[in-house]
Structure 1
Amino acid sequence: MNAEQRLAIFQRLAAAIPEPTTELRYSTPFELLIAVVLSAQATDKGVNKATAQLFPVANTPAAILALGEEGLREYIKTIGLYNSKGRNIIALCRLLLEQHGGAVPRTREALEALPGVGRKTANVILNTAFGAHTIAVDTHIFRVANRTGLAPGKNVLAVERGLEHTTPTAFLKDAHHLLILHGRYTCVARKPKCPQCPIADLCEYPDKTPATPA
């Protein structure tokens, strides 16, 4: 795939998805951080349902610490792995207060030092909260990058580096959400919606879903 094809792909995705952003609901970088930590192996819809109850009660590190692990658990118990997530969030809040004055740090190193925060979560925060040109490769982006030929890679880090290197500069900020939303709703895991796909003619996937006969 050449640079012209990549540019055309992102131009078409941007036209099809005019407001590329996360589907997690948040109003501050801290709320986004908590939502992203909760979203691991969970749906955005499930996380939003839980945080709609949690955030009006506690949406700062100090307020969540005041809830304690047991109190927090009551709000997040509908989410998978809620016990370990709860422990991580309590420890994360404590570290934010002790080392960052309660603010969410703006560097990858500081974010990844927080309990429950790995490279993918750090990338989401840097991109979505602070506008950095990072791409958090989840299962959707990994699939789209490999299927289309945008940035083939055997692991998420290879795909991330490939996308950061080859994505047109104008689309680096929005690439993360353009690709994840395309993967979530069009280039789905089973039976991708190729007949309705805006980039089907540019995509290098050899097993495209055929159009349904009229």
Structure 2
Amino acid sequence: MKKSELYKYVLDYFRGIHPEVTTELEFGSVFQLLVAVVLSAQCTDKRVNQVTPELFAHYPDARSMAEADEFEVYEYVKSVSYPNAKARHLVELARMIQNEYGGEVPHDFDSLLRLPGVGRKTANVMLAVAFGEAAMPVDTHVFRVSHRLGLVPRTADTPLKVEQQLVKHIPADDLAKAHHWLLLHGRYICTSRKAHCEKCEFKAVCPSSTCK
């Protein structure tokens, strides 16, 4: 199967079963989404969703979190991975947002990257989910599934290279959704420890399938 045919096969399937799809993180504003995404690094969305209700009850916006002490924030996020660093980043990014952007999360990629604790993946998530732009965040699930399905070559050995390959082959209108499609497929079907190929609709075309 040609690369273009594989992409069409995969995208057509996802469009059919998940025409509307978004993040599983729970949030009530753009700022809260940013906080949740920062907390989700190397941590499950389920765990983050257990932490954020109490955190947001005390610090619902950039202004309130900017006035907090990182040790106070730590008490609410200590059950996530790397809580010390994340608590510090949350307070620092809230202060930057408040002081330099009038309390509003910036809308452009470069400004997002300036925020403490925000890397390329987080910035792309914000563009895709919060602002509805054509962006492809690459997390561990997207990275793994893209390789296993043969959507990207082995030489795409970094998240940036995977992102560039996916952006090249996926229509702009589908990019934001495709991130969630691949992520959810990796989270529930093509899992890290053992791919559940018997449940996968791509087993007939997947070069990594054990069910052929």
What is residue 120 of structure 2 aligned with on the other side? 119
CA shift for structure 1 position 18: 4.1
* Structure 1: distance between partners of 2:56 and 2:164: 34
Write out aligned runs for 1:184-203 (5 A).
184-203=187-206
Range that drifts further, 123-132 or 150-159 = 150-159
Percent identical across equivalent pairs? 42
In structure 2, what residue type is equivalent to 1:108? F
* Structure 1: distance between partners of 2:74 and 2:194: 37
What is residue 175 of structure 1 aligned with on the other side? 178
* Structure 2: distance between partners of 1:71 and 1:118: 24
In structure 2, what residue type is equivalent to 1:100? Y
* Structure 2: distance between partners of 1:4 and 1:92: 43
| Residues 22, 128 of structure 1: 8 Å contact kept | yes
Q: Does structure 1 residue 51 correspond to structure 2 residue 41?
A: no
CA shift for structure 1 position 119: 0.5
Range that drifts further, 164-173 or 27-36 = 164-173
Q: Does structure 1 residue 13 correspond to structure 2 residue 2?
A: no
What is residue 104 of structure 1 aligned with on the other side? 105
What is residue 129 of structure 1 aligned with on the other side? 130
| Residues 195, 210 of structure 1: 8 Å contact kept | yes
Offset from partner CA, 1:99-154 (integer Å, 9 cap, x none): 10010111110000000001011011110101111111111111111111112311
SS at the partner of 1:23?
coil
What is residue 28 of structure 1 aligned with on the other side? 29
CA shift for structure 1 position 26: 0.7
SS at the partner of 2:57?
coil
CA shift for structure 1 position 21: 1.2
What is residue 159 of structure 2 aligned with on the other side? 156
Q: What is the TM-score when the length of structure 2 is the normalising length?
A: 0.93
What is residue 40 of structure 2 aligned with on the other side? 39
In structure 1, what residue type is equivalent to 2:17? A
| Residues 127, 134 of structure 1: 8 Å contact kept | yes
In structure 2, what residue type is equivalent to 1:158? K
Which consecutive aligned stretches of 4+ in structure 1 deviate over 6 angstroms post-superposition?
none
- What residue ranges of structure 1 are gaps of 5+ in the alignment? none
Write out aligned runs for 1:199-214 (5 A).
199-205=202-208, 208-210=209-211
SS at the partner of 2:69?
helix
| Residues 191, 209 of structure 1: 8 Å contact kept | no
In structure 1, what residue type is equivalent to 2:167? E
Q: What is the TM-score when the length of structure 1 is the normalising length?
A: 0.92
| Residues 13, 182 of structure 1: 8 Å contact kept | no
CA shift for structure 1 position 194: 1.3
